[in-house]
Every structure is written in structure tokens, then in C-alpha cells.
Amino acid sequence: MKVRFHLAKGKNFKKWQITDDDGIKSYFDPMDVKLTLYNCVLCNSKKTANKIYKGSSKTVCSWIKCEWVKIESATDISGKCIFYNPRVNPYWYDEEGTDIDGEHYETLKTNGKNVLVW
């Protein structure tokens, strides 16, 4: 499965997009749900991310690959945040700014539009 934050204009703007192994996409409002992702890898297309970092228009260049996703009602949780914004850094990064592309995590959770290490 792939999970990413959907930023294309339209009815699913700023929603979590989950794409299953058959390519079927589902969308979830981050204010309504909390996602728990299991056996995760942070994926990034460095070439595309570097172009965006240098000023090109944004396009899909990052996602979280995972084995499965549990979807629950939104609750406020806290934890160590990880980030992705190719305008800031052309890679996934942690609170210290460290490049964490390709890192594996047993469990990640969403809190709104944020991704937390759990």
C-alpha cells in the first residue's frame, strides 16, 4: 500500500490518499480519521524533489509504503513528528532536519496532516 497527502485541486484536496496493491485509491479527511501504518518505508523521488526544491511546480514525489493501514476516528495524539515538504528540504526529515529517506518504521500514525513516529 502507498499513503500520501493529496494536494491536487479538487474534492480530495488535502486528504490522505491510500492506494492499495491493486491501484484502488481511497481518500480520508485528516480531521475525521487517524491512520496507523504498519511496516513502513519513507519513499521519495529525489530527482523530482530536487527540481521542486529549486523552484519547479509541485508534483507527486513522496509517499509512505506500508503493509497495511488501520483507519480510526480522529483523536489527538502526540509523538515525534517527521516531515516532507520539498520546498523546505528535498527529502523526508525529522525534527532535527536529518535526511530520513528510505528509513523503515514498524509503526507510524497520523495526527491531522502530521506523521508521527510511534
Q: Can you give the C-alpha Rg of the chain in angstroms?
A: 14
pLDDT in tens, 26-73: 999 999 999 999 999 999 999 999 999 999 998 999 999 999 999 999
User: What three-state secondary structure class fits 72?
Assistant: strand
User: What three-state secondary structure class fits 71?
Assistant: strand
| Mean pLDDT of the residues in the chain | 96
Q: Is the pLDDT of residue 76 over 90?
A: no
User: What three-state secondary structure class fits 75?
Assistant: coil
Q: What is the rounded CA–CA span in Å between residue 29 and residue 118?
A: 21
From 34, 40, 13, select the one nearest 111 (Cα to Cα).
34
From 46, 45, 66, 58, select the one nearest 3 (Cα to Cα).
66
pTM: 0.94
* Mean predicted confidence (pLDDT) in 72-81: 92
Predicted confidence at residue 102, as pLDDT, reads: 98
pLDDT tier at 84, thresholds 50, 70, 90: very high
